[in-house]
Amino acid sequence: MSGTIPVYRWRLAPDGLATRRQLRAAGLRPGGQDPVAVIERPRRRGRPPLVAYLYLVSAAVPVRPMTPARWRAIEAALTARRTCPDCGVVRDYCIPTSIGVCNPCDQGAGWAIAA
Ligand SMILES: [Zn+2]
Residue 75 CA to ligand 1 center (angstroms) comes to 20
**Tens-place pLDDT, residues 16-51:** 999 999 998 888 999 899 999 999 988 888 888 888
pLDDT of residue 115: 47
CA distances from 13 to 18, 56, 105 (A): 8, 11, 66
Specify the pairing of strand 7-9 against strand 37-41. Answer: parallel
Higher pLDDT, 108 or 38: 38
Residue 93 CA to ligand 1 center (angstroms) comes to 12
3-state secondary structure the chain: CCCCCCEEECCCCCCCEEEHHHHHHCCEECCCCCCCEEEEECCCCCCCCEEEEEEEHHHCEECCCCCHHHHHHHHHHHHHHHECCCCCCECCCCCCCCCCCCHHHHCCCCHHHHC
**Tens-place pLDDT, residues 43-101:** 888 888 888 999 999 999 888 767 888 888 888 988 999 999 999 999 999 999 899 99
* 13 pLDDT higher than 90: no
pLDDT of residue 1: 52
pLDDT of residue 64: 77
Residue 102 CA to ligand 1 center (angstroms) comes to 4
Residue 72 CA to ligand 1 center (angstroms) comes to 24
